[in-house]
Structure 1
Amino acid sequence: MTAIRSLIATAALGLSALAATADEDDVQHYAIEPSETLEQALTNFTEYNAKVRDVLEREDLSVADMEEIHEYTYTIEAALAKINEEFGALPETLEALHLASEAHDADEVRSLAETYFETAGELSE
């Protein structure tokens, strides 16, 4: 499960430019599964990507199949937005930790490591 969460986080960070942010003013064509917490977002990301893959395994894609994928992408987009919100600062925090360790600043290392692992720990649970 740890590898899956790492892969999800990496994919989410890499795709942040492509992900539409969930905005209350956006017009929603379909109801979405909420991604109010990181755990919900990771679960939705995994489950709804699997649903899209299942549809894509069908021999011929009908208009209804494409609408099904369209519906699923709303939940995936909301999940990616939450993942990006939670993990967006993680690379900067890691870089600051790297630089503090390089400078042998023990107090700063401890402080930054605490911040880093509060977020990164979500991936290893």
Structure 2
Amino acid sequence: MKHLLCAALCTGLLATPILAEEKPGTHFEGEPSDSLAEAVANFSKYNQELADLLAKDELTRREIGEIHILTYSLENALEKIEEDVEEMAEVLEEVHLGSETSNVERVRSNGEIYLESARTLIP
């Protein structure tokens, strides 16, 4: 019994620095991505932070904890990007359908909406 108690205590102490910024029973929210532009900026920022950490020869528990936390922000960014890309696909389909029927107004109006979002993703 003493061995089990000791093992549980040691495990808890070892895990503490990893999730130091998280309160027990809660999850870190991550940086929000309320717009496509914000999502792309966060995606770029946190991918670079992840790359910098992964470039190290060895990762400490603290660095693993940092990776754990930054993945929340990356997940938020990806979720927003995914939502907006789905909307872009729908608008692009309107451009496509407009082009099939030579509907210039449908092509122009939807094409501009599509390009505005697309240029946020890839300038």
Query: TM-score, structure 1 length as denominator?
Result: 0.66
Which of 87, 93, 96 lines up with 1:95 in the alignment? Answer: 93
Matches within 5 A, 1:62-73: 62-73=60-71
1:32/1:116 Cα in 2 relative to 1: closer, same or farther (>3 Å)? same
1:90/1:31 Cα in 2 relative to 1: closer, same or farther (>3 Å)? closer
3-state DSSP class of the match of 1:36?
Answer: coil
Q: Which residue of 2 aligns with 1:78?
A: 76
Output the aligned Cα RMSD. 2.1
Matches within 5 A, 1:7-46: 29-46=27-44
Larger radius of gyration: 2
Displacement over 3 Å in runs of 4+: none
Letter in 2 for 1:119: S
1:95 deviates by 2.5
How many angstroms apart in 2 are the aligned matches of 1:35 and 1:117? 20
Deviations along 1:9-28, one digit per CA (max 9) or x if unpaired, are xxxxxxxxxxxxxxxxxx75
Query: TM-score, structure 2 length as denominator?
Result: 0.67
Q: Which residue of 1 aligns with 2:111?
A: 113
3-state DSSP class of the match of 1:89?
Answer: helix
1:114 deviates by 3.5
Is contact 2:40-2:121 (8 Å) kept?
no
How many angstroms apart in 2 are the aligned matches of 1:34 and 1:28? 17
The percentage of counterpart residues that share the same residue type is 39
